[in-house]
Structure 1
Amino acid sequence: MHVDPPGDSRIDTQPAAEIVSRKSPLKTPENRRDDDRDNAGTRRNAYAIVGLGAAAAITVWTVYYPADSTALEQGHAMGATCMLMAWGLVAAMAMHLRPRLDARRASWWLDSSVLLLAGWILLAAWVTGGVFSSSVPTLGGDLRAGTNEAWWWIAAAGFLVTIRRVTTNVVRIRAVFGLLLGLGTLLAVHTLHQHYISLPETLREYLADPDAAFASLGLNAPPGSAARMVYENRMRDGGPTATFALANSLAGPLAMIATLGGGCLVSILASFRRHDDEITVTQPQRTLPAAIAAVAVLTAVFILTMVALFATGSRSGALSVIVVAVAATVLSVWPRSRRSVRIILASSVGLGVIVVMVWWFAGADSRLGQFAAGARETIELRLQYWLSTLVLLSDHPWFGAGPGNFQLVYQKYRDVAAHEMIAEPHNFIVETLACGGWIAGLLVTASLAAGLWFCCRKILSYAVPGEDVSPSLAQNGGCTADNSFPEHRTETLLAAAIASGAFFGLVVVWYYGISHDALPDFEAHQYAIPAAMIVMGAWWMITPILAAALGPSQCVKVAAAATACGLVHLCFSGGWTVPGVILIGIWFAGIATSVPTARVSPGSTTTASHAAAQRQLPSWSVGVVGGVLFLGFLFFSLRPILQTRAAMAVATEQFRTNRINQAESTLRSAIQNDPLAQDAPVWLASIENRKLMQSLIESPATSARHQQDAATAMEIAVARAGNDPAVLRAIGDLLLQRYQVAGRIDDLVQAEQIYGKAMELSPTQEAIVAQVSEIVRELTRRGLTPSGDSAEQLATRAETLGDSGDMVTRKLELQPILPARKIGPIALHSPVQESAEELLRGQPDSLTQ
């Protein structure tokens, strides 16, 4: 219709009533409600687009700085946790999310169990940290590590619940798929560059000068030590890690994104075999080129990620993709097949099982046999971890070890034959049990069951593949949502928002790396970043043309398969609490179980009982709960950790420039800022210890003040160490070094007490037992009676532990310990270390002065 400009003198011949109704419409209440719903839908869609862009930035950051379970406990994932918590809180408030009390829906059970699980883990952190107890916990009790991990559980749960409401339609899902495919390409290219270029070059540099390599890494691994052997084994056989700390952690995202690429590829190829012409109806002249381009891109991504996955050497990662692919094929083909096809399919699966069994028991003569032998050894180790964790649960059924404390408590229950000091039990169910006891295990099981039930109902609700769910089923979690924007405009806005968010995250990552001298691998990423950009750009350009090939049904199935792949991998590998692993899994789980707000059709009615079952809490309740948690995170964890970290950096610079007094003052302020910090007290104790040793050598008569300062610093360090055997061992080494310098019996007695506690907490660690044996031997020689076993008994026990598990890295000849004898000023700069095997055999005091 042509609209005249203002001031036009032409006469309008339309009836006056029509003109009046057009210029000043008299809207009925129903029309006004429809307009309000349209406006609300437009706002929700805009918020969702902006939210997905912000989530893309957070995901890019997490891929570059994924942390690991130990780093998470130490507070190195505070940035990702803070951003995720803030994103979830803002998104929930902007979209006016209201908790719905309707126990008849599987979606309600999924949300409730996930949120209750995170809340229970947070409670477990406080309980096991001794907050509600008048006595110090006998095991674990690291409140800082526990809360650091618990906050991530809270952030991840909030992200899952919110992302299920943001990925409300297939257009958004396809846009997110582009982001994930690009990030998978980035990781794959980085992995392959590392495998074929970086690692061989690093190995050559290490072999040329091992000591310089360890000095650059800040590691203490003297020649002939087990630490050096473990490092060399990991360098040769550990596989590439890309931006992750471990190859197995990297394998998780690679496996899930490989499943995504393969699933989308199969969906597009299968769409051309259907005879309903659903793809060629809209744009036949553009469909074939777009399909060829999509197949090429997806094939490249799938091959890249699978090759990178095999390069990591992760058996659980590769097998998870194979298992999910076989299961998806059977579930897809079986219902539509004739009896003959089913017989062939069942026979193929049976034959495959037989082949796997033969391979499993194959000898180690061939390469496949060696692969099978390695798999058997891996399963045996996992069984040791799981059985030890179950014993732990029998003693602590309610809250387990608590989050962040598994590595501390596990040492008490570790099997004698187990040789690794693991940070997690390498199974996400068992790890959840260890974090929160049997109730946490029940809640995670309920979450999995509710998610599986909801996802299956959602897939079955699609009457025809490629079409959206019906309005009645949309209310139960279909992929429809209010969307007042045209579809093509929404696709453009989504691609622009996610691309902008990803670019912003990339800029922040590299800015942080430059400013903190932690630059990512530039040589690898000059290939990885362009490859990722090409994949994302091509995907966002192609998918609007092939929309029918990747409809809601296909997208949900692919996301469900990727989620299943990640969970299968996590059944035998760590990564359940690694931000860089689980965040990718949450994206897929959120898409597979997405729950939009369905629009109610005019004239629909709701019974009283149904309305009563769907009572909603006000939207501000989400803000209140989320705001309280976020403030607790900021003031209890983030603020003191950042202050302490900044103080430690300043103290490092002061110490490097020989400003010892200023460094001491800075460390004391760090100790006051964070009452739970461990590193600053131990460092201060080492400084005071050195000053005391210096005074004992130069002027023993004037060492009273230094003695008092060292005793105070040592007392604080021991109190902050809690039940951490590693920190206690470091403190005991300070006392033994003091004994090596001055030979004072009080230092030896105190070292025996601290090392005795460390041995009680970690009774199967051969190096600690050997060190206690050496201390007891010296105490006996000085005429003191030890409080526990004799030196001979402890030496025999250390030798037994060293021979357990048939692991060369546990041999006593590779365990450096401190000789408990007076050596003199030679030990002032650094303590003298010798082989545990030689000391336990009674090496003469050749260094004694």
Structure 2
Amino acid sequence: MARRSPRPTVLPNPRLDRKGPESLSDDSDAELAAWLGERLRRVALGLTVALLTARAYWPSEVDPKAEGGAGLYWDLAVLLVVGLAVAAGLVGGVVRLRWSWTDAAVIALITLVGLSAGQAYDRRLAINLAWDWGAVGLAYLLVRNLPRTRSESVVVAGALVATAVSVAVFGLYHAGVEMPQTRAYYLAHRLEVLKQMGYAPGSTAAKMFEDRLNSTETMSTFALANSLAGFLVGPLVLMVAVGWENLIRRDGRRSRLASLALAILPALAILVCLILTKSRSSYIGFAVGLLALAWCERRRASKKTLLLVALGGLVVIGGLVSAGLATGKLDRQVLTQSPMSLRYRREYWVGAWRVITERKEVFWGGRGPGNFTAPYLRHKLPEASEEIFDPHNLVLEVWSTAGALAMVALVTGLGVAFWNLLRTAPASVELPVEGASKPLSALEWPSDPPRRTNWLLVCAGGGWVLASVLGTLNPFEGDMPNRWLILGLAWVWAVLFGLQVWRRVPISAVGFGAGALAIAINLLAAGGIGIAGVALMLWSLIALGLNLREDRPCGRLREPGGRFLGFGLALAWAALLGTFIGAILPFWRSEAAIAEADAALRANPPKFEVAEAAYREAYSFDKYSARPWLGLAFEKYREWESRGAKPEDMRWKTIPASMVEAVSPPRNPNSWTLHHERAKVTRQLLNQLGDKLKPGELTTYRANIVEATRRASRLYPSNATLHAELALASAEIGMYGDAAKEAEEALRYDGLTPHADKKLAPLLRKQIEAELPGWKKSAISMPAGGKMPE
């Protein structure tokens, strides 16, 4: 820190001299408080940029089986950093804020998403995901308000771009090295791998797993190629904008050609990885982002220059695409199947609109985070291809999650942001060159922001370490050391090669707006605003771009109040932290108990009593989670089998009972997969028990199979297999009329769907077709009472 020279009497500091020259001791206290407040702000800013970097290093797509809890430790870390930022204002005596209508819209959106979790059927999944949304919103506010200088905002942006480069480099390694190794291992140990995954050989789930394994799409640290593309496309457009600034401005420091030559390599890494994702929506987003950038820059360069740069870019992209086609990494279906992809989107959007308009409460309040799939399947078109988790559309996704008001907040926030970002600054506004020296007349006080920003760059690199603490990037597990090293080294490489081009000339906000627009266009067809990694990149680019609009009110850092406002923010933060602990601590305690139970079952011999006690403890902690009940059913089944699977061993009766509890309120009663699993488990038990059960007891459990399968088929009415299974189960207990009706529905949906994985299995179809005439005949001859004549 620079040593402060004696304070001259001609240039007093108004922040310290509030009471006049006679209160020197008060000045010393104020200086110390300001010094401490500024240090706390720097710590909070350093941790914020580290958290932004870290979140891209492990998958942020929702895993319903884990109830969406993968990012909760990161969410808590963001909450704690918010507390640190609030403490900085309290201690320093000055609260500094930037404010715009976009900020208000983001706060409204996050609040409405949080409220929507209260009306979700799957409450545990909705609560966990609502906190993911909340943490992303809080991170946006931190990025908006913690940087005090243009240099700090630029460094945060550079760190995000370097993170995108590191993820892209690992994506290329993953596609070129790890995936071929994984495929070779699978071919050599196919049955073993399928058993570990819980997939039956030849089943639809096994086929989908194999299709994904054989896919050449690049996914990197994300679970889906579309998510990776949504994460990369914004930084790539921003890199093009920074390169353009360096190209047309000759007044910067150092050689522009040397700086650009180094920076091109990291940009090419992102471009190659983006192309290999085969995400058509990201290609369109990239094109729209570049067109927006060109439109905003049309007055700063000649048409000839713009045309030459565009042609050069097309040549580079064309060369990369040709190389991809020649090596087999790309296929022509990426273009030829575009109409089919658009048709799929239309099918998704029709089903999503039916979900939204199903009830007035849903139209205005949404279904809650992560609760789209169940109602969508009730309205899914028979010819639609997938059981999607979100509508694959930015607007419909927010609307179905949190209602019409949340959709309005989203559209308003994005609209105002783009209006601010994609407007060129007036010619009279001169952007400062990064790192330019301060005027000699300016005084440095201990509360002033640092002139150098290398410290912030080092903090950003700390995300590499935080990902191991808060996420799943464990450098000591399996093949994780390679991933850990490649991500870290690629990040450093991106910084070293791109540092000069970022520091050479001022960076305008237009590039940030174009990058955010590219992400938004991608999300209009791919969806994923609820995926933390993608949403963070979108909102962070918007926040940083607004910070750089110092010529507009949205970019001005104001001091709206002192400690009074600070105390108000502290109370709001305390309430938020308390709500988080109250909502998430039961889940963590339940997960810890489940982990203890799983460990007991893995022991040799298994410790069934310990596992049962742990599962019972788990569901006593978290009433919204179905996982303890499913675990208890599995534990009882293994224990029953280990004792000889005898009918007189009453442990087997707790298995279907536990499965019923898993789908009983307050847990999710609308999960067709759990109802289907309940029917399958009961069927498996009856097959093992055979004729050892009493006739009345056998009929009761067969009726339970019918009830569970009927619930599943009503929750997913276009599923031909469910109707066929319900037909067979109904016929088994003499309900021939229902059996015939369900068989006809099964054959109808089988004929409507063009997708092989949605059709009836050949043997099942033959069985249904053979039995249907007999069921119809039996239904006609059945008396009104429903029983066959003796």
**TM-score (norm. length: structure 2):** 0.81
Aligned mates of 1:673, 1:714 — CA distance in 2: 18
What is residue 654 of structure 1 aligned with on the other side?
A: 600
Displacement of 1:159 in angstroms is: 1.8
Matches within 5 A, 1:59-70: 59-70=52-63
Residues 174-229 of structure 1, C-alpha deviations (whole Å, 9 max, x = no match): 211331232122111111112222222222222333222324xx323323222222
Contact 2:656 2:681 in 1 (8 A): no
The letter of the residue matching 1:765 is: N
1:383 aligns with 2:346: yes
Aligned mates of 2:62, 2:443 — CA distance in 1: 37
Find the partner of 2:714 among 754, 757, 760: 760
Alpha carbons of structure 1 residues 385 and 756: separation in structure 2 relative to 1, 3 Å: same
Contact 2:234 2:516 in 1 (8 A): yes
The letter of the residue matching 1:247 is: A
Aligned mates of 1:39, 1:83 — CA distance in 2: 27
Displacement of 1:172 in angstroms is: 0.7
Contact 2:71 2:471 in 1 (8 A): no
Residues 714-751 of structure 1, C-alpha deviations (whole Å, 9 max, x = no match): 44223134211111211221111122223412111011
* Greater Cα offset, 742-751 or 327-336: 327-336
Q: What SS is found at the alignment partner of 2:198?
A: coil
Q: What SS is found at the alignment partner of 2:286?
A: helix
Aligned mates of 2:17, 2:702 — CA distance in 1: 90
Alpha carbons of structure 1 residues 745 and 48: separation in structure 2 relative to 1, 3 Å: same
Contact 2:53 2:159 in 1 (8 A): no
Alpha carbons of structure 1 residues 337 and 615: separation in structure 2 relative to 1, 3 Å: farther
Q: What SS is found at the alignment partner of 1:812?
A: coil
Alpha carbons of structure 1 residues 111 and 660: separation in structure 2 relative to 1, 3 Å: same
Displacement of 1:661 in angstroms is: 1.9
What is residue 359 of structure 1 aligned with on the other side?
A: none
Aligned mates of 1:680, 1:511 — CA distance in 2: 23
Alpha carbons of structure 1 residues 375 and 664: separation in structure 2 relative to 1, 3 Å: same
The letter of the residue matching 2:588 is: L
Alpha carbons of structure 1 residues 539 and 772: separation in structure 2 relative to 1, 3 Å: same
1:159 aligns with 2:124: no
Displacement of 1:540 in angstroms is: 4.5
Identify unmatched segments of 5+ residues in structure 1.
4-17, 130-140, 273-277, 281-286, 356-366, 470-479, 601-610, 815-834, 845-849
1:114 aligns with 2:106: yes
Displacement of 1:171 in angstroms is: 0.7
Alpha carbons of structure 1 residues 804 and 623: separation in structure 2 relative to 1, 3 Å: farther
Alpha carbons of structure 1 residues 50 and 252: separation in structure 2 relative to 1, 3 Å: same
What is residue 337 of structure 2 aligned with on the other side?
A: 374
Alpha carbons of structure 1 residues 406 and 672: separation in structure 2 relative to 1, 3 Å: same
Q: What SS is found at the alignment partner of 1:121?
A: helix
The letter of the residue matching 2:539 is: I
What is residue 409 of structure 2 aligned with on the other side?
A: 443
Matches within 5 A, 1:28-427: 29=19, 45-70=38-63, 73-95=67-89, 107-126=99-118, 128-129=119-120, 141-215=121-195, 218-237=196-215, 239-272=217-250, 278-279=251-252, 287-288=254-255, 291-334=256-299, 370-395=333-358, 396-427=362-393
* Greater Cα offset, 369-378 or 425-434: 369-378
Aligned mates of 2:20, 2:626 — CA distance in 1: 64
Find the partner of 1:713 among 654, 658, 661: 658
Aligned mates of 1:199, 1:712 — CA distance in 2: 42
Alpha carbons of structure 1 residues 809 and 334: separation in structure 2 relative to 1, 3 Å: farther
Q: What SS is found at the alignment partner of 1:490?
A: coil
Matches within 5 A, 1:509-548: 513=474, 517=477, 521-540=480-499, 543-544=502-503, 546=504
Contact 2:656 2:682 in 1 (8 A): no
What is residue 502 of structure 1 aligned with on the other side?
A: 463
The letter of the residue matching 1:775 is: A
Displacement of 1:329 in angstroms is: 0.8
* Greater Cα offset, 155-164 or 459-468: 459-468
Identity level (%): 20
Q: What SS is found at the alignment partner of 1:167?
A: coil
What is residue 836 of structure 1 aligned with on the other side?
A: 764
Q: What SS is found at the alignment partner of 2:86?
A: helix
Contact 1:728 1:758 in 2 (8 A): yes
Aligned pairs, number:
712
The letter of the residue matching 2:415 is: A
Residues 31-55 of structure 1, C-alpha deviations (whole Å, 9 max, x = no match): 7899999878766654443223212
* Greater Cα offset, 376-385 or 505-514: 505-514
Find the partner of 2:529 among 563, 571, 576: 576
Displacement of 1:843 in angstroms is: 8.9
Aligned mates of 1:446, 1:510 — CA distance in 2: 33
Aligned mates of 1:512, 1:627 — CA distance in 2: 30
For the pair shown, the structure with the greater C-alpha radius of gyration is 1
Aligned mates of 1:590, 1:481 — CA distance in 2: 29
What is residue 606 of structure 1 aligned with on the other side?
A: none
1:565 aligns with 2:518: yes
Q: What SS is found at the alignment partner of 1:388?
A: helix
Displacement of 1:664 in angstroms is: 1.0
Alpha carbons of structure 1 residues 526 and 336: separation in structure 2 relative to 1, 3 Å: closer
Alpha carbons of structure 1 residues 47 and 374: separation in structure 2 relative to 1, 3 Å: farther
Displacement of 1:162 in angstroms is: 2.5
RMSD (Å), alpha carbons: 3.9
Aligned mates of 1:37, 1:294 — CA distance in 2: 44
Aligned mates of 2:645, 2:466 — CA distance in 1: 55
The letter of the residue matching 1:751 is: I
Alpha carbons of structure 1 residues 295 and 228: separation in structure 2 relative to 1, 3 Å: same
Contact 2:372 2:390 in 1 (8 A): yes
Aligned mates of 2:443, 2:480 — CA distance in 1: 42
Alpha carbons of structure 1 residues 109 and 599: separation in structure 2 relative to 1, 3 Å: closer
What is residue 400 of structure 2 aligned with on the other side?
A: 434
Contact 2:53 2:160 in 1 (8 A): no
Aligned mates of 1:634, 1:86 — CA distance in 2: 12
Residues 127-163 of structure 1, C-alpha deviations (whole Å, 9 max, x = no match): x23xxxxxxxxxxx11111111111222222221221
Q: What SS is found at the alignment partner of 2:452?
A: helix
Alpha carbons of structure 1 residues 403 and 508: separation in structure 2 relative to 1, 3 Å: closer
Aligned mates of 2:101, 2:607 — CA distance in 1: 59
Find the partner of 2:669 among 704, 707, 722: 722
The letter of the residue matching 2:596 is: V
Aligned mates of 1:510, 1:116 — CA distance in 2: 28
Alpha carbons of structure 1 residues 446 and 670: separation in structure 2 relative to 1, 3 Å: same
Displacement of 1:99 in angstroms is: 10
Displacement of 1:539 in angstroms is: 4.1
What is residue 361 of structure 1 aligned with on the other side?
A: none
Aligned mates of 1:714, 1:455 — CA distance in 2: 53
Q: What SS is found at the alignment partner of 1:593?
A: helix
Contact 1:165 1:596 in 2 (8 A): no
Alpha carbons of structure 1 residues 842 and 95: separation in structure 2 relative to 1, 3 Å: farther
Contact 1:52 1:498 in 2 (8 A): no
Identify unmatched segments of 5+ residues in structure 2.
319-329, 435-441, 548-553, 691-697, 773-790
Displacement of 1:406 in angstroms is: 0.6
Displacement of 1:675 in angstroms is: 0.9
The letter of the residue matching 1:60 is: T
The letter of the residue matching 2:662 is: A
Aligned mates of 1:410, 1:531 — CA distance in 2: 41
What is residue 15 of structure 1 aligned with on the other side?
A: none
Aligned mates of 1:842, 1:560 — CA distance in 2: 62
1:629 aligns with 2:588: no
Aligned mates of 1:690, 1:599 — CA distance in 2: 64
Aligned mates of 2:594, 2:143 — CA distance in 1: 37
The letter of the residue matching 2:276 is: A
Q: What SS is found at the alignment partner of 1:398?
A: helix
